[in-house]
Chain A
Amino acid sequence: MQRAIKVTVNGKEYEREVEPRMLLVHFLREELGLTGTHIGCETTVCGACTVMLEGHTVKSCTVLAVQANGKNLETIESVASDGDLHPIQEGFWNEHGLQCGFCTPGMIMSVKQLLGDNPNPSRDEIRHAIEGNLCRCTGYQHIVKSVESAAKAMVQE
């Protein structure tokens, strides 16, 4: 019961045959080898698997790979370009917005969406925007600072 799908991931087109039940996150990780996207909770809570689907963040553990047929996806692997870190990545690095790093790719994707919609968010808005991303290491304070630092850098750019 394989289905042929065609997706564009990080600007590159892929054609694969997949089982309908294959989750998008497994497709990205195992079929395409893009292991930067992680699996944390499997119940649409933790957000470690967050990727962009048609420019909107989604939890890729709760999307079937077949649902992405014909669509455009972006993952953490696309955030830095030509070896240059994105200001959000710089923000997380400078402000120690990560410890074990497991939630970080999903967190960065959510922050990318936030700063795209709202270039100058308040601390409350930042916390609200990352409600769908759990971090067990940082207590979130340095993440909030990382986002503030990234926002500042992006506005100046």
Chain B
Amino acid sequence: MATTTTPTTKGFVGKRVRRTEDPRLITGTATYVDDVTRPGMLYAAVLRSPYASARISSISIEKAASLPGVSAVYTGEDVKAVGPVPCAGSMPTLRVPHHKILAQDRVYYVGHPVAAVVAIDRYVAQDAVDQIEVEYEPTECVADPEKALESDAVRVHPEYDDNVAFTFHAEGGDTDAAFAAADVVVSERVTVPRLAPSPMETRGVVAEYDEGTEELLVYSSTQIPHLLKTQLAVQLSLPENHVRVIAPEVGGGFGSKCNVWAEEALTCFAAMDLKQPIKWIENRRESINVVAHGRGHVDHLEMAASKDGTITALRFKILQDIGGHHQLLTPIIPTLAVIMIPGLYKIKNFTADLTGVFTNLPPTDLYRGAGRPEATYVLERVVDKLADKLEMDPAELRLKNFPAADEFPFETATGLSYDSGDYAKAFNIALENVGYDSFLKKQEKARSKGRLLGLGISTYGEVCAFGPSPALPAGGWESATVRVEATGKVTVMSGASPHGQGGETAYSQLAADALGVPMEDVVVIHGDTGKVHWGVGTFGSRGTAIGGTAVHLALEDIVAKGKKYAAHILNASLDSIQFNQGIFSSNEVEEKLTFQELALEAAVAQKLPPDTEPGLSATRFFEPPNFAFPFGAHICTVEVDGDTGQVEILRYIAVDDIGNVINPMLVDGQLHGGVAQGLGPAFLEEVVFSEDGQLLTGTFMDYAIPKAKDMPWIESERTVTPSPVNPLGAKGVGEAGTIGSLPAFVNAVVDALSHMGVEHIDIPMTPQKVWNLINERSQS
């Protein structure tokens, strides 16, 4: 068993170090956005559309405005001057419909913000929302992406001649020729329903405008404070250097807070208008309703192969449900499915056609995994189908199609360059850990007794550590500043914005090792644009590989600068200066200098070399040359209760390779959480709407996220293939578990029922769905 250590000497990186964030979190003293109070603060609440599609014929605010304690009621007309909610998509065919922060003359989905109230407390604000009288003229709506594409479908946006939001095509090799030459072709259509990201903390904003300095101070539960600062300045026509955004303690994001939301600008607008601080806290119903849903795909994948099991080509079609309008990255997310569709396999030919379609539903956007779980899911389902068709062992089929360890960097047909890997190694460990051959025997025996056992394999790869700036709409770099205080304490300022991952701990480990100081001497500051000058944020598994590397580079600069000072102070040559465990020394002189002594010298600046400036601080940006590509193998075994359709996970094996690891305990945590967010959708989670676009799963009473008893024990192991694309050799771990787990579970349940002729089960695999399949098969 691993033990927790907090050593006080060098050697933190790679160790299981408990988190520096935790003391405030376990004692209830951390400050989340709803814990922020400002003098004279008022509360905002939002009125939302009850219709999926309607014209607004009138809004009467008199009753609401006259309630005691109400300061203001805003409608679309009042906020007309505020700029639209941004969308970063740039494909040539992209249609970007009107997206004002409050509905103007029409609403496009249930939950569309229509008006806002500001009042003395949240109780009165809610009372006033109920008193706003809106007359709607409901119009026909379309709440199904496939129906929205039909030629006679009602148009979500009448200004366009159909509901296509954009199309995107990609290809590599000669797919038609490969299909024509194929011995076998298999295909599957899968639906991946909308998911509610559901961080335990909902969204929230506190905005305060200082009339004297003309500064807008915004607290928002966000993953991207710096990008938000820029966008708010644009939307509100403020000079950007008058806007400061603070992401306080953030209670989970999973991509849903990597966005720029109407309610953020709305709260700021009201704070500027009323000259009073304003708090808006989303309730859970709003969170499930309007926080952009993940997924929302209908995917079709066709696979060509030769008799020996060599996969030769893919034809991939994605239908992405956009919803009523775009959020920040909505159209970009499914393109990640396109580029990852070959997975870990050497597939030379592919075509992909992606269609984004408007529906009268809330928007979709990124959610943990973002495009990559969808690609891996459909690919791994079809690989199992191919194994069936070829009567080949699905493990053997996978092993046959991996690139070998010496083939890296491996260029894919989709134009990516996989950085490093040994796919077979990780997979073989997983097979061994599950006891593959003996399970197959056990399964055979169980079947003869009527028991339904199944084993599911998923070998997955992911593109992450976003990423080179040309590949991202707003920069793929990250920045860090390391400032050494006069007393030798170390302040690390990172442009990443960790919100549960443990970035403060990981960056402290890096700093403590590099500078030879105790971890408790390091303070990590993040999530405040007033303190950290540049940043992109935390999303896409980039916190360590990109954010951590920026910290690493700044630390290197500190050491280099320190050596220069030390050489001068010690009267030794620069080349002779060694820096070890916090001590500067030289073989040329007896005298030594501790890091703390040097820090003081740098500040008092009396003995510094003439060609240097005082102070010991460094700012670095890291621009990665490529993405990083984690990979792994997840294997799940299940038993299905044939009478009820309930599925029990017997064992869950994960072997992941995320490159070098700074803190294995944090990595385990990320993987476990990632697996939970892959398994949840496999059997529990689905945002359901009625045909008229009404949300049917609006609370946690109906939208099921995994509870403790729903989760298996995850038997986790890692292989380590360092990434060559950053000096830390890290790949990224935030999303790996979510990408790897879903197909393993689905493949296991399909395997358990395969002898009945079951070839596919759409997620979520509810007991009812599973039982229906068993029931149909046993009746026919």
Contact = CB atoms under 8 A, between A and B. Distances in A.
Contacts of A104: 25-26
B669 A138 contact: yes
A79 interface: yes
B28 A105 contact: yes
A31 to B, nearest CB: 11
Contact of A22 (B31, B123, B252, B666): B123
Given A37-B28, A92-B22, A142-B668, A136 B200 contact: yes
B606 interface: no
B278 to A, nearest CB: 15
Contacts of B26: 85, 89, 92-93, 98, 101, 104-105, 108
Contacts of A76: 27-28
Contacts of A26: 122
Nearest to B679: A139
B391 interface: no
Given A35-B28, A99-B500, A99-B501, A142 B201 contact: no
A134 B675 contact: no
Contacts of B699: 41-43, 45
Nearest to A142: B669
B249 A36 contact: no
Nearest to A61: B284
Interface string A13-46: 0000001011000100110001111111111011
A1 B712 CA distance: 50
B199 A100 contact: yes
Interface stretch (B180-188, B585-593, B703-711): B703-711
Interface in B704-731: 705-709, 711, 713-714
Nearest to B284: A41
Nearest to A128: B709
Contacts of A96: 18-19, 665-666, 668-669
A54 interface: no
A137 interface: yes
A101 B669 contact: no
B676 A139 contact: yes
A144 B708 contact: yes
A151 interface: no
B198 interface: yes
A94 B18 CA distance: 6
Residue with the highest number of chain A CB atoms closer than 10 Å, among B18, B23, B27, B200: B200
B29 interface: yes
Nearest to B201: A102
Residue with the greatest number of chain B CB neighbours at <10 A, chosen from A92, A123, A137: A137
Given A45-B699, A93-B23, A135 B672 contact: no
Contacts of A6: none
B502 interface: yes
B286 to A, nearest CB: 10
Given A137-B252, A140-B708, A79 B27 contact: yes
B28 A75 contact: yes
Contacts of A102: 32, 199-201, 251-252
Q: Kindly name the residue among B18, B254, B666, B737 whose own CB sees the greatest number of chain A CB atoms within 10 A.
A: B18
B139 to A, nearest CB: 32
A69 B380 CA distance: 58
Nearest to A89: B26
B22 A138 contact: no
A138 B4 CA distance: 18
B499 interface: yes
Interface in B221-245: none
B701 interface: yes
A19 B126 CA distance: 15
A124 B201 CA distance: 27
Contacts of B200: 38, 40, 46, 48, 100, 102-103, 134-137
Nearest to B16: A96
B83 interface: no
Nearest to A92: B26
Nearest to A80: B27
B700 interface: yes
Interface residues of A, number: 59
The residue among B27, B201, B252, B666 with the most chain A CB atoms within 10 A of its own CB is B27
B668 A137 contact: no
A136 B676 CA distance: 8
Nearest to A144: B708
Contacts of A48: 200
Contacts of B499: 100
Nearest to A79: B27
A134 B700 contact: yes
A38 B201 contact: yes
Contact of B673 (A35, A99, A131): A99
A46 B700 contact: yes
B250 A131 contact: no
B35 interface: yes
Contacts of A43: 284, 699-701
Interface in B476-534: 499-502
Contact of B201 (A100, A108, A127): A100
A67 interface: no
Nearest to B198: A136
A85 B198 CA distance: 30
B34 interface: yes
A38 B199 CA distance: 13
A35 B34 contact: yes
A118 interface: no
Contact of B500 (A45, A100, A128): A100
A136 B708 contact: no
A140 B669 contact: no
A115 interface: no
A41 B675 CA distance: 22
A1 B677 CA distance: 45
B283 interface: yes
Nearest to B699: A43
B390 interface: no
B201 A140 contact: no
Nearest to A98: B25
Given A41-B699, A139-B711, A21 B669 contact: no
Contacts of A85: 23, 26-27
Nearest to A75: B28
Interface in B250-273: 250-252, 254
Contacts of A95: 4
Most buried by B among A37, A48, A102, A104: A102
A39 B285 CA distance: 13
Nearest to B700: A45
Q: Pick from A123, A135, A143 the residue with the most CB of B within 10 Å.
A: A135
B672 A138 contact: yes
B759 to A, nearest CB: 30
Nearest to A35: B35
A18 B17 CA distance: 45
A40 B699 CA distance: 11
Given A19-B123, A21-B123, A136-B254, A89 B708 contact: no
B21 interface: yes
- Which of A34, A104, A131, A133 lies at the interface centre, i.e. has the most chain B CB atoms within 10 A of its CB? A104
Interface of A: 19, 21-22, 26, 29-30, 34-43, 45-46, 48, 75-77, 79-80, 85, 89, 92-96, 98-105, 108, 123-124, 126-128, 130-131, 133-144
Interface of B: 4, 18-19, 21-32, 34-35, 121-123, 198-202, 249-252, 254, 281, 283-285, 499-502, 665-666, 668-669, 672-677, 699-701, 705-709, 711, 713-714, 737
Given A38-B201, A46-B284, 6 more contacts: A41-B700, A45-B701, A79-B27, A100-B252, A101-B249, A101-B251
Which 3 A-B residue pairings sit nearest by Cβ, starting from the closest? A36-B28, A101-B25, A102-B251
27 contacts: A36-B27, A38-B32, A38-B251, A40-B200, A40-B202, A42-B699, A46-B200, A46-B700, A85-B27, A89-B27, A92-B22, A96-B18, A99-B252, A99-B501, A99-B502, A100-B200, A100-B250, A100-B252, A103-B200, A105-B26, A133-B708, A135-B200, A136-B673, A137-B500, A139-B674, A139-B714, A140-B672
